[in-house]
Chain A
Amino acid sequence: MIDEQLLQDRLTDAAAAQDDLLPRSVADDLAAGRRRLRRRRFLAGGTALIAAGAVAVATIGVSGALRNTAQLEAPTATQQAPVSTPSAVAKPQNVAKPQNFDGLMKSLMYKHFDPSKKHLNFTTGPFTINTEPGYRGTLRKVGWNAKGDKGQGMFLIGLERSATPAGNTCGSYFESEPRPVICRPVTLPTSRPAMIGRQGRMIEFSYRQPDGEFLYVAVDPVFRNNTNIASKQMVITDAQLFAFATDPALNLPPLTGK
């Protein structure tokens, strides 16, 4: 039978034989990584978002405009905060806070994900509306706890109307995971198309409503910023997501004269 030590030696020899065929420096790797990061950012959110993110980083490090970049880069300021949703960390001047919208979002989340109101944790701050040229929407992390469960899960909920492609798309949140979420098209009970991906209890979902508003939901049994212990009890079904997405009440508040 195979001598395992000899197999290891032979594998090492065979793998090492190609070491010098395509030599690269660390600087090349770094430059390539940056290029690909820029490319991915461009594909994900467009150059306008990158510019907004750069300005925000240069000033404080976080802002409502960093909604997409924060997910990709997790700036230092955000790491130290108890939550990672930028709007909960800093409140840019152009963020409106319609109380009824926050209440609406909370009530819809309770209705579809936690009817007994025992699990959702909104201490990360209210759903606020961030308004910029060509963009209006909200992006917010919401915790999930259960009695006796040491872990904490989370929802990342985004609802936006934007002139540029959505910053968060199905599959983007867990893209760096060893086992990324692979999204697939799905038809909702309303016959509308959406995208959903599931890897264990990690879920990503995106859906463009008939009125053009774009909904993005990521479900993670691990909150990450607050704790790396997974919630054992957080289980969200596709049906719950579909019902939430197609709830006719799920809309951004109408624009006002202000």
Chain B
Amino acid sequence: MARATRDEEFSEYVAQRRTQLRRIAYLLCGDVHKAEDLVQTALMKLYVGWHRVHREGNLDAYVRRILVNSGIDESRRPWRREESGLDGLDPVMEEGLAVEDRRALIEALASLPLGQRRVVILRYFVGLSVDETATDLNCGTGTVKSQSARALARLNDLLSAQFRAVGGQR
């Protein structure tokens, strides 16, 4: 009975949130396969701890934190250090500047230190406030602000030439 309830609630939650989780994971690691692994790991942990997490509330924050921390763990494991991408399964290279911009952004993001990358994703993709980001990352708001400032400056440097819109030189 408990399992049926859990499965039903879990399925409903995943159906609503899966796309967003995959996007966060993709921005974290820049590879669809690794992103899928990260989401699977996060969902597995969420499934295992479902009753407790559900009881404590704030599922989104919980799974987001799992996702971000799973990313760190996975990237540290030697067998996760394979080169990213397989033919036909990386983001499709369509014609046009938008695809190049997209790739430039992903590469610039990947070049950021993990802490800064996490702050950028949580602040500017997920849309969390400074306080919420600090809570998610278990750090102070000052750290979030400084990481954010450094990340934006770095992105500005990296993208101003290729990514004129983000670079502010429109």
* Chain A residues at the B interface, C-beta cutoff of 8 Å: 1-4, 6-8, 10-19, 21-22, 24, 26-27, 29-30, 32-34, 36-37, 40, 57, 61, 72-77, 79, 175-176, 178-180, 224, 228
The 4 closest A-B pairs by CB, nearest first: A178-B65, A15-B23, A176-B49, A33-B47
Q: Is B144 an interface residue (CB 8 A)?
A: no
CB–CB B89/A30 < 8 A: no
Which A residues lie within 8 Å of B66 (CB)?
Answer: 176, 178
CB–CB A11/B168 < 8 A: no
Which B residues lie within 8 Å of A14 (CB)?
Answer: 27, 102, 105-106
* Chain B residues at the A interface, C-beta cutoff of 8 Å: 1-3, 5, 7, 10-11, 14-15, 18-19, 22-24, 26-27, 32-33, 35-36, 40, 43-49, 51-53, 55-56, 62, 65-66, 68-69, 73, 89-92, 98, 101-102, 105-106, 109, 120-121, 124-125, 127, 138, 152, 155-156, 159, 163, 165-168
In the bound assembly, the distance between CA atoms of A224 and B41 in angstroms comes to 23
| Beta-carbon nearest neighbor of A14 in chain B | B102
Q: Which of A12, A14, A36, A179 has the most CB of B within 10 A?
A: A14
| Beta-carbon nearest neighbor of B25 in chain A | A15
CB<8 Å pairs between A and B, sample of 8? A2-B166, A2-B168, A15-B125, A18-B22, A26-B14, A29-B18, A40-B48, A178-B66
Q: Which of A8, A33, A57, A180 has the most CB of B within 10 A?
A: A33
CB–CB A224/B23 < 8 A: no
Which A residues lie within 8 Å of B168 (CB)?
Answer: 1-3
Chain A proximity of B118: nearest CB distance (Å):
12
Chain A proximity of B97: nearest CB distance (Å):
12
CB–CB B27/A11 < 8 A: yes
Taking A36-B40, A74-B52 as known contacts, 15 extra A-B pairs with beta carbons closer than 8 A to each other, sorted by chain A number, are A1-B152, A2-B167, A10-B165, A11-B109, A15-B26, A24-B18, A33-B43, A33-B48, A36-B44, A57-B2, A73-B51, A79-B55, A176-B45, A179-B65, A180-B69
In the bound assembly, the distance between CA atoms of A37 and B43 in angstroms comes to 11
Which B residues lie within 8 Å of A175 (CB)?
Answer: 45, 48
Which B residues lie within 8 Å of A176 (CB)?
Answer: 45-46, 48-49, 52-53, 66
CB–CB A2/B56 < 8 A: no
Which A residues lie within 8 Å of B156 (CB)?
Answer: 1-2
In the bound assembly, the distance between CA atoms of A24 and B39 in angstroms comes to 11
Chain A proximity of B60: nearest CB distance (Å):
12
CB–CB B44/A37 < 8 A: yes
Which B residues lie within 8 Å of A4 (CB)?
Answer: 124, 152
CB–CB B125/A61 < 8 A: no
Which A residues lie within 8 Å of B40 (CB)?
Answer: 29, 32-33, 36
The 8 Å CB contact of A10, one of B3, B19, B49, B166, is B166
CB–CB B51/A74 < 8 A: yes
Which A residues lie within 8 Å of B49 (CB)?
Answer: 74, 176
CB–CB B105/A75 < 8 A: no
With A3-B168, A74-B51, A224-B52 as known contacts, state yes or no: A33 contacts B44, CB within 8 Å: yes
| Beta-carbon nearest neighbor of A33 in chain B | B47
Q: Which of B40, B124, B156 has the most CB of A within 10 A?
A: B124
